[in-house]
Chain A
């Protein structure tokens, strides 16, 4: 818990809540198969919880080298906050995201 005098005037969210880790709500988690990913970023755009970040894509595989050369970033899932809604998997045009049951 954050003491009152350490809180801002009003809740301001520039990233997902740092206080509440909604990742614990998940029963299924999205896993990106980067070899199918074409870096269209549709998953990033659709994520209702801003839980997909764009990171430097050089260390991730891709469907083709040309994609990696043209688009420098790759989508990365923030598992601390992703609630597992599955919208990204549903929207992905190359079916590169799979919803996998959380391990109990």
Chain B
């Protein structure tokens, strides 16, 4: 089973991102589960969401403590949340940043780091505002590249069904992010 944890802020679309990723894997015939951290959400407050993907039916209903992948929607979260908590050995962190993978590795110490400037991609595709860009679809596209566990085509198709507003621009953001994601391994 692959377990993916999303870190975002209320309003950035972390919960929708977890569903898009689940829908993409579902399209590929996998069993999936997606859920928000069971809390009381507010705009701006740190938000956690989860996706589980497996070849066989997923029976475990508990929250994800030891993710294989962590997706961080905003570097400012790094000071507020321990995003790598419980990350499996060899696990990957995908982060929305202008920084390089080396710089992120310096900060987080993760062995595998993927970086993408999802904010720039979102603004370029007119998703959200400059102050609050909607980066979730770009990040799921980047995740397809960084993890290889879902295909970009599936992500694009899932955005079509899960995102009611501006699906085309969101699909383009996912494609752009897929192209520009940089993945690095450190040992």
A and B touch in the complex (CB under 8 A): no
